[in-house]
Amino acid sequence: MNIVVCIKQVPDTAATIKLDPSGKSISEENIAYVMNPYDEWAVEEALQTKEKFGGEVVLVTMGPDRAEETLRTGLAMGADRGIHVVDPQLAGTDYFGTARVLAAAIKTIPHNIIFCGKVAVDDNAGQVGPQIAELLGIPQVTAAAEFEMAQDGNSAKAHREVESAMEVLETPLPAVITAEKDLNQPRYPSLPGIMKAKTKEVKKMTLADLGLNPAEFGAAASRFEVLGMSMPPKREGGRIIEGELPEAVKELVRLLHEEAKVI
């Protein structure tokens, strides 16, 4: 079984986030980076699938040199090898460009199933996984809360929440499956796993290696532009409404209507 997992390096959600002077992105000063949490669920599901059916797990990522640290984390969890697409021209590449790069990298290796995180926590877009499936011309199941591979390895079932029900989808393989929160419990890398990860293969590839035109990537080729970012406003302290109950209720309704604008 040839299993591929697309992963992304994102800022640690526990970090204190600040905007850079342009106001269009976050400052990288003193920021720690980690594997996208949804991708951790994807990696764990891939490893469990390998344990049941054999084969290998290959991690694929796109990003600057520091993204190799995230690949090494996945290798320490138990993945077999990694592919790191790194190219100066990729800075500012949009979601579709990212999907094109990852799909091109996946085409260079055998793949029976491709796992991705449902979303990345730094943008919450959820576009890359489905776009990879479209570019590869294979089925996709998004937001999988449960996953089960058929014994013959030719198909799989995925469960996903739909309002108050659970939808069960069956798909032939190869296919793209995006992992929902709590699909499983990701394992912690063991000390032996961390040591082995240091020597596992991470293949570096550029746009030229993938046969892609650099002019079609980067900020200049992006299909959208970030006009600005802002930090959430500080929450105001609670307000105590005093007085007799009938008057207090009227005042509460007025505040909800005029200030909170929720009714």
pLDDT, tens digit, for every residue of 103-116? 999 999 999 999 99
Class for domain 2-221, per CATH?
Answer: alpha beta
pLDDT at 262: 81
Give tens-digit pLDDT for 147-201.
999 999 999 999 999 888 999 999 999 999 999 998 999 999 999 999 999 999 9
Average pLDDT over the chain reads: 93
DSSP track, 211-243: T--GGGSSGGG-SS------PPPPPPPP-PPPS
Cα 228 to Cα 25, 92, 231, 232, 257: the distances in Å are 8, 14, 10, 13, 30
Q: Residue 110, SS3?
A: coil
Give tens-digit pLDDT for 247-262.
899 999 998 888 877 8
d(CA 43, CA 36): 11
> What burial letters (b/e) apply to 197-219, b meaning 16+ CB within 10 Å?
beebeeeebebeebebeeeebbe
Question: Who has greater pLDDT, 214 or 262?
Answer: 214
Q: Are 219 and 90 in contact (CB under 8 A)?
A: no
Radius of gyration of the chain (CA): 22
pLDDT at 195: 97
Positions of CATH 3.40.50.620 in the chain: 2-221
Tell whether the model's pLDDT for residue 117 goes beyond 90: yes
d(CA 102, CA 108): 10
